[in-house]
Amino acid sequence: MEKNLILPMTVYVFYMLALGIYNFRVRVRAVRSKTLSIGYFKAYDGDVSQDVIVAGRHFDNQFQLPLLFLITCLAYLTMKNTEQLTIIFAWIFVVTRFGHSYEHLGKNNINRRVLWYVLGWFSIVFLWGRFYFIS
């Protein structure tokens, strides 16, 4: 059953990698088009386009709530407690992050983006609450 929990973790780690590559490509495109000076990256100071800011902040977001997700899954794996409900909520978290990315990197509708974010938090809180009561 542990492999079933490792799968959403693995999918998410590779998704983080894809977002990192996307962020890098946005930055390279901006430098090549001369809309951004490469010197901007010395201190992250100066004029920068919104797409570069959004891509960078979105990638940075992957090291906030998603790290709590990965820690949560590791806690379940350590306790050797990976029941079906745990796996379902792990996948729910991954789906909420995909939805959050779709909104943030797309039309950036704040209301829908917040909804995806809150649903992600709900899945983490549920997993921790459940972990507390079953451990």
pLDDT in tens, 72-110: 999 999 998 889 999 999 999 999 999 999 999 999 999
Supply the pLDDT for residue 134: 84
In this predicted model, what pLDDT tens digit does every residue of 51-75 receive, in sequence order?
A: 999 999 999 999 999 999 999 999 9
Query: Is the per-residue pLDDT at 1 higher than 70?
Result: no
Supply the pLDDT for residue 40: 92
Per DSSP (E only), the strands in the chain are none
Query: At 83, which CATH number?
Result: 1.20.120.550
Supply the pLDDT for residue 120: 97
Q: Which residue bears the tokens 């079953």?
A: 134
> Residue 13: helix, strand or coil by DSSP?
helix
Query: Sorting pLDDT into bands at 50, 70 and 90, what band is 34?
Result: very high
Indicate the length of the chain as a whole number.
135
Domain extent for 126: 2-134
Supply the pLDDT for residue 15: 98
In this predicted model, what pLDDT tens digit does every residue of 9-29 receive, in sequence order?
A: 999 999 999 999 999 999 999
State how many domains the chain has: 1
Alpha helices in 33-83 (DSSP H): 40-43, 50-61, 65-78
